[in-house]
Amino acid sequence: MNQAKIEKLVSRLRYNVGSKPRKLKNVDGPEGRFRKIKKTLTAVIKYERIELNYARADETRGYVERLISEALRHGPEHGETMELANFWIKEKQLVHKLFKVLVPRYQNYTTSFTKLHNAPCIYPGYAYKRAILELKGNVYPTVEQSNPHQHNLLHNILLDAARKEYRMEKYKEIAANMNV
């Protein structure tokens, strides 16, 4: 059968898309779901880093990724892409940002364009998980904090030494067995 390859029709997203779309329950039904996603998507493109409920962040992430990848593929001259951008982005000046700022930024990316972090629930908080959704390559300091002196931490030194000792014992054992 002559079937078109799916990758040629739709750009492949570089993150794990969930198996089912979330309903994002609200009184307006599917229309309300669009409204919610539009609002969050616009905010992500505007502020480049936002904190919100995990489910909504994860759901919006796919739409942001898809929109940017379409913009990358077809550019502003492509009618359908422009229509798509006009539909999802609520503020018109951000459509310019999409094509003039984000497209050049992500031109050579081989990874996803967004990043989703788990955020802490601050006491007393609600039951919902929190998340931070950000566009990569933004100007803010990083969310993740790594310790540059990790190898100097005492427990790492101790565990390293313990591992070395264990290896040495094993080598000795092997050597002893070889002679016999």
Partner 1 sequence: MYQRCKSLCFASNLQSRYKSILSKIEAKERRNLLFEEEKKRQRTAVGRIEKIEVKYQSPVEEVTLIMNKCISTPMDCAKHISEGVSKVSAIAMVDGSPWDMNRPLLSNCELKLLNLLSPENKLVNTAFWRTCSFILGAVVDIAFKQDVTVHLHSFPVPVIKSGSFIYDVYLDLADWKPTDQEMRALSAQYVKLINKELPIERIEISESLALDMFQDNPIKMTQIPDIAKSNNNKIILYRIGDYIDISKGPMVGNSSLIGRCTIAAVHKIPEKENLYRFQGVALPKGIILNQYAYGLLENRARKFNNTSWSVFSEENNEVEDAKVFGRN
Cβ atoms 138, 44 nearer than 8 A: no
Cβ atoms 117, 131 nearer than 8 A: yes
Closer of 93 and 147 to partner 1 (Cβ): 147
- Report, in Å, the least distance between residue 16 CB and partner 1: 28
Q: How far is CA 115 from CA 132, 134, 177, in A?
A: 8, 5, 52
The identity of residue 61, as a single letter, is R
- Report, in Å, the least distance between residue 144 CB and partner 1: 15
State the residues that interact with partner 1 by CB under 8 A.
147-149, 152-155, 157-162, 165
Closer of 2 and 150 to partner 1 (Cβ): 150
- Report, in Å, the least distance between residue 117 CB and partner 1: 21
For residue 100, give the DSSP letter. I
The identity of residue 179, as a single letter, is N
- Report, in Å, the least distance between residue 105 CB and partner 1: 29
Closer of 28 and 160 to partner 1 (Cβ): 160
Closer of 145 and 179 to partner 1 (Cβ): 145
Read off the tokens for 167.
């290896």
